[in-house]
Amino acid sequence: MKKTVCELFAGVGGFRCGLNNIKTEGDYNREEKWDTVWFNQWEPAEKNTQYAHDCYIYHFGTRLDNNDKDTTNDNIEDVDKKTIPDFNLLVGGSPCQDFSSAGKKEGSMYTCNTCGHKYNPLEAHYSKRDTCPKCGSKDIEITRSSLIVQYLRVLREKQPEFAIYENVKNLVNKEFREVFNLFIEEIKEIGYVPYWQVLNSKDYGIPQNRERVIAVFIRKDIDHGFTYPKKINLLTTINDITQNTIPENYYIDEKKSNTLVQELIERGKLSEN
């Protein structure tokens, strides 16, 4: 089987680096194990501030869709999923800001700008999500985290053999567990067997306490089960990966530092002691 992948919410290429064991600057020049046939990274900001996409392009170049157009920096909502090239593996972690315990916690909600009705798109039939169930308007405002439905749309349209999904641990906690359950039920309805666990990077060789939901989806017609890797001993420390000499432009001066500290104290985020 040829190893082809589509990377959604690509950022600067985290999944791509992981799949191809890219660890250093020199690794970018090696032949990749997985051929990324298409990716998408878009920030809801001005077009000239697409820093993550710019970084991705700098390291990996771009990819064209089936119409020979570069849609890698288009809003994923506007991308015709039929134009995405075929692939074996879908990867991506939709925006976590509204699921995160440190975020606004607005979840995956849609808001109708016509009548003000709020609804969870995962509770609606996949073909009717963009229409307000109360007034029928299509003038809908979404949260970033509701882009989880775009992952489902790509999976439904392209039907790859495998898929991997990543998000913050809070998605499976009590507050948003119903959202996750609806997501998993739709994964099953599309035709996949879901496997998921909360994994911590410190258990897999990275000196960072970072818990994330890692879900693996295997198409039903080829599923033979899936086992998550066993934990490994942590042998690397922060000192092993940090730089000894840091350029001065990465520091802030004492005046700015004192101002920042004072702001944190006033907001109750830092003790005066």
70: CB partners within 8 A, 6+ apart: 62, 63, 64
Check if the beta carbon of residue 150 is closer than 8 Å to that of residue 92.
no
List the catalytic residue out of 6, 96, 112, 132: 96
- Tell me the one-letter amino acid at 243: Q
Check if the beta carbon of residue 158 is closer than 8 Å to that of residue 86.
yes
Reading phi first (left if > 0) and then psi (alpha if -120 to 50, else beta), residue 151 is in: alpha
Burial 6-19 (b: 16+ CB within 10 A, else e): bbbbbbbbbbbbeb
112 carries an active-site annotation:
no
* Residues identified as active-site: 96
